Amino acid sequence: MSDKLTAAKKRLGKLRKQINQHNHRYYVLDDPLISDGEYDRLFREFLDLEEKFPQLITPDSPSGRVGGKALAEFGQVNHRFPMLSLENSFSDSGIRDFEGRLKRFLPESAEFSYVAEPKLDGLAVEIIYEKGLLTLGSTRGDGKIGEDVTSHIRTINTIPLRLRSNDVPDYLEVRGEVFLTIEGFRQLNEHRAAAEEPLFANPRNAAAGSLRQLDSKITAQRPLQFFPYGISDPSLLNSNNQREALDFLGRLGFKINPLVHLCKDINAVVDYFHVLQKQRHELDYEIDGMVVKVNSFSLQKRLGSKARSPRWALACKFPASQATTRLLDVEFNVGRTGAITPVAVLEPVALEGVTVSRATLHNGDEIKRKGLRLGDRVLVQRAGDVIPEVIQPIIDLRNGSEEEIRMPSVCPECGHELLRKSGEAILRCPNPHCPAQRLRSLIHFTGKAGMDIEGLGKKAMEQLFDAKLVNDIPDIYQLVKSDLLPLEGWADKSADNAILAIANSRKTTLARFLGALGIRFIGEVTAALLENQFKTFDQLMRAGEDDFLDVEGIGGQSATSLCQYFADPAVQEMLRRLFDIGLHFTTSDSGRKQQPLAGKNFLFTGRLPGFSRNEAKARVRELGGQVASSLSKKVTHLVAGEKAGGKLKKARDMELIILNEEEFKGLIEGE
């Protein structure tokens, strides 16, 4: 045996063992150890080796079957026609190569047309109807034998128990995907957390775990949904193609995915692949790619199938949005209000085409709830341009060297003892002179949500702070051109523009200035309410808690925060310096009568767990704001929820004010 053959045999043996193990964890136990992207890489390497060395293919090769074995607790169901998996593509060229293979197999055929649809991240099932009545439902299992989950299938509202037409074959096998919406997944995990049960890692595992409960009553309590993607035997229909078959299923009472798209040629398929990739984070369910099928049933029949996949279909996979990597360290960042935020330092990993090395951990309670340890292999998730998040540790991969993550007792920037108020999950540094808080307060003051001083963005303020040219807010107004020119990246024009912008910002409104100060619980809406109530800034500074509480929309937290802020001698000195420099306010009677969000235009992207989209829009309109339907120069604020899409990146490029859900809630509730 040659050295190459020996090495290939050894590598295949190792890969075979790994893939079989991961198949068992994924399909049988619903508890995967690695991400889909990592599994795909292993499987592609395995298939490539088998293709190069066909003499090494064994009877137990993973390439000879699809999925995993049926669970012993369920009755077994033999599929009349195998439920095959699909060959994968990961690029535009892979999609075009697909058509090349079709034309080599059927060189005499005319041009192909295709049907493309989202590839749902759910659980494939087959549902059998006899004389229009649902009689059997089963999982895919190993492709030939599945699990009988009929009683569970019956609980899914989007699956008709009786077909809504008499024009139906006596025996019909419908195939499709059972899945959970993102909102349904969130609710399910909230209930499990409240019951102190382990959380599901993602909607796919939640759907699989829900459908394979021994007690179908539990399944009925979970918001499962279903989209059909075809039938097992097209010859039973009068339809000639895939598009017509889906339309027929729609008439029978099934909910058809509205994103199913007829493509006239392969170029249209590639174009739609990019359309879906951009839309994926706007959807209320998870998709991990696109499925493309030759539309014509007669061509599908002629093309046939290979050992594990049909020749006439292809799964076009998106870059992975989840991956596993190692948690190397935890850093603790200090915000402008003193909040301590733990940030995971990760072994770099590719997610959606971006290398990720840091992820949010939210707070100490979240770390404890997830049971994270330093050195853990962890599952991380990234959606669109939102900061990555650590989902859970992979406990089965621990080797005993992992260490407990300890929250700090003193501020990592100034050494001051940290405090945690009753009822709050966040540690805070109470030192108002903490350098980290000062820097972030300065960045907020000059930024879009503050005074909006052109040329003094985040990087510029970090540079000025490090150079000790700006230590507090009044220092900004003492800057001169000669201070800026020696610094890297500054030239005559940029320095002139910045100095002019600083001078122009001396004249502002009381509301903008209040919002720029970064007082805790005082955002744009609260600042506007205060401007409408108090005639002068001096009157505002002398007000007591009762005076603030008399303002409709001002709550106890805001009132207390204002009093504490203006009572601080250091704040009083800072304000005196600003007024000596020439800061002054312009107001008008008409301005006082405006609602807090008047003149502001909001666009929403992603999902807000605490609001329905209509509710969020209604609150903006109630407060005098406008709601946009698309990104344009008129938009002033982008509210980015979970799984925000490409709008978030464009908004950053346009330097719009970007709010997460918590910030948006604070804005409309006056906190």
Q: Which residues are catalytic?
A: 119
> How far, in Å, CA of 5 to CA of 146, rounded?
36
Look-up: residue for tokens 């025996």?
A: 171
Distance CA(210)–CA(226), nearest Å, equals 13
> What Rg do the C-alpha atoms of the chain give, in angstroms?
30
> How many Cβ atoms from other residues are within 10 Å of residue 121's Cβ?
21
Neighbouring-strand partners of residue 116 = 261, 292
Element (H, E) at 552: none
403: enclosing H helix or E strand: strand 403-404
Q: Hey, what amino acid is at 195?
A: A
Local structure of residue 87 (DSSP, 8 states): -
Q: Return the amino acid letter for 555.
A: G
The DSSP secondary structure of 333-396, one letter per residue, reads EE-TT-BEEEEEEEEEEEETTEEEEEEE---HHHHHHHT-EET-EEEEE--TTSPPEEEEE-GG
Can you tell me whether residue 638 is helix, strand or coil? strand
The number of beta carbons lying within 10 Å of the beta carbon of residue 12 is: 19
Report d(CA 201, CA 209) in Å as an integer: 11
Chain centroid to Cα 75, Å, comes to: 37
Report which secondary-structure segment, H or E, holds 120.
Answer: strand 114-120
Query: Where does 214-335 show beta strands of DSSP type E?
Result: 224-231, 261-263, 287-294, 313-317, 322-334
Residue listed under structure tokens 């991969």: 397
Q: Is 146 helix (H, G, I), strand (E, B) or coil?
A: strand
Residues 6+ apart with CB under 8 A from 146: 70, 76, 77, 79, 83, 125, 126, 138, 139, 140
Q: Are strands 261-263 and 114-120 parallel, antiparallel or unpaired?
A: antiparallel
**DSSP class of residue 254?**
P
| Contact call for residues 438 and 518 (beta carbons, < 8 A) | no
Distance between CA atoms of 671 and 663, rounded to whole angstroms?
A: 9
Token pair 């090395």 is found at 357
Contact call for residues 139 and 203 (beta carbons, < 8 A): no
HEC secondary structure over 267-289: HHHHHHHHHHHHHHHHCCECEEE
